[in-house]
Amino acid sequence: MECYSYIKLVNFIRSTNTSCDTIMSCDRPLWSDDKYMTPVNQEDPWLMFDFDDVEESSMLLDSGDPPRSGYHVNAEDGRVTLSEMHFAELQKTIKNLNSQIKEKDEVISQLVADMQRMKATLGEVMVGESNHNVVLNQNVGGIRLEDDEEYFNTYAHFGIHHEMLSDEVRTTSYQNALCLNSNTIGGSTVLDLGCGTGILSMFAARAGAAQVIGIDQSDIIYHAMDIIRENNLSDKITLVKGRLEDTELPVPQVDVIVSEWMGYFLLFEAMLDSVIYARDKHLRPGGLLLPNRCSLSLVGGCDQVLHTEMLGFWSDVYGFKMSSLRGDVVREPQTCVVSPDNVATTPAQLCMLDLMTVTTDCMEFEADFQIVATKSTLLTCLVGYFDVFFDLPNPVTFSTSPMCKPTHWKQTVFLIQNPISVKQGEVIRGKLTCRRNRKELRSLIVTIILGNAKQRYLLS
């Protein structure tokens, strides 16, 4: 019996409830009609068997003897007469098939259980908030390179580098950290992780580094190679194209690792994973990581204009209501510069990261916070920002706080769907939970509980 006949036979039996005696006594297949190719039960376990395997195995008896043929079968008056030897062989075949069926049933039961677990896990992944042990690859080094190319391609265009290099706070801070500490950097081997145009590599060379290795997977590195040659620094700076986790460096260990890895809300894009990997694999004992500390903070805001622009807008669009879109809008944090005039509370530090000791688990955290209203107003948002520290003989620090000079990171604004009226001096308590997005490890899911309200935000 070939595979299609087997499928038809199973569906014929399911649809007609034909007895075994009828099947065995028929002189021609009753199931030849193609309509029996359609399953009666979509999850029929008999249709899940590897029929070829069953057919092949059923031909081999427990004794290992080859199948026998040529038996005489007498059918008369509805009765079938077999020889003892033929009957014994059929009994062995039935026993063998029953054993196979039992094994297959066990396999199917296991597969069904596995499918249930997969469904449950997928549900958690789609929702985006589950036990973080569900993630198989818990950091970006586990992402297949071809799946990560979109991230690196965002840094291939000159536009983003123009924006970053034009950020005076950012670029000057790195320049000062390296060049004002030339006694520390001088003579060292430096790794510039995510080197981009090579600006930090050149600062390190200017500070007296003996050797600088810059690495970047983005195609911008080809421009960086031209820039290094243009500035006659090829004798000191070596550039490597590749993702650090997949690439062998010219030297196994370095004295200093410098990287501008911070994303919006500090942790977005999860480049910190690569910094930690570089620290653990390539930084010699006693070496320097620049920056070496970062803090993440939250402050209340009262930007009614932004709230109306982003959420109130949908209440009346040319005379039509589109309020169903408000939920999607509020879930997406805004990246914008918040005026100091729209800061309405004291700040609260959510976490302080010692980059010399943290693990990739630091990407996920929970923090209770308490902020105090500095004026009576309507609280329309919570504003996230971070501070960066270079703890060197000549220390350098900078902040992305709304109270400081704006940077290209701006601030991360979490809109409050229903603004809260607060009085000056009032204490507002809340809780913020940060998790990796299960569908995209470089993205974040932030959940904020403020009073009795709970809102979830997606940074992607």
Residue 260 a catalytic site member: yes
- Backbone φ and ψ for 283, nearest 5 degrees, come out as -90, 125
Burial class (CB in 10 A: 0-12, 13-18, 19+), 63: exposed
Please tell me what DSSP assigns to residue 366: E
- Cα torsion 136, 272, 337, 403: sign: positive
Q: 98-116: string of b/e by CB count within 10 Å (b at 16+)?
A: eeeeeebeeeeeeeeeeee
Alpha-carbon separation of residue 347 from 159, 210, 311, 427 (angstroms) = 33, 42, 25, 12
- Cα torsion 84, 89, 93, 98: sign: positive
Distance CA 120, CA 335 (A): 34
Q: In degrees to the nearest 10, what's the CA dihedral of 262, 263, 268, 272? A: -20
Residue 269 a catalytic site member: yes
Q: Which of 260, 366, 426, 440 is catalytic?
A: 260
Q: Which amino acid is at 394?
A: N
How big is the CA angle at 135 (ends 132 and 140), to the nearest 5 degrees? 110
Distance CA 302, CA 384 (A): 14
Q: Which of 269, 309, 366, 426 is catalytic?
A: 269
State the angle between helix axes of 51-58 and 3-16 in degrees (0 to 180), rounded to the nearest 10: 100
In 10 A of CB 451, how many CB atoms? Answer: 10
Q: Which element (helix H / strand E) includes 252?
A: none
Distance CA 156, CA 203 (A): 21
Dmax (CA) for the chain in angstroms is 108
Distance CA 299, CA 293 (A): 20
Strands 411-422 and 377-390: antiparallel
Q: Which amino acid is at 123?
A: G
Distance CA 58, CA 49 (A): 13
Could you identify the residue written with the tokens 């005379």? 319
Contact 73, 82 (CB under 8 A): yes
Could you identify the residue written with the tokens 């030297």? 251
Going across the sheet that includes 427-437, the strands are: 365-372, 427-437, 440-450, 453-459
Please tell me what DSSP assigns to residue 287: E
Q: Tell me which residues are annotated as active site.
A: 260, 269
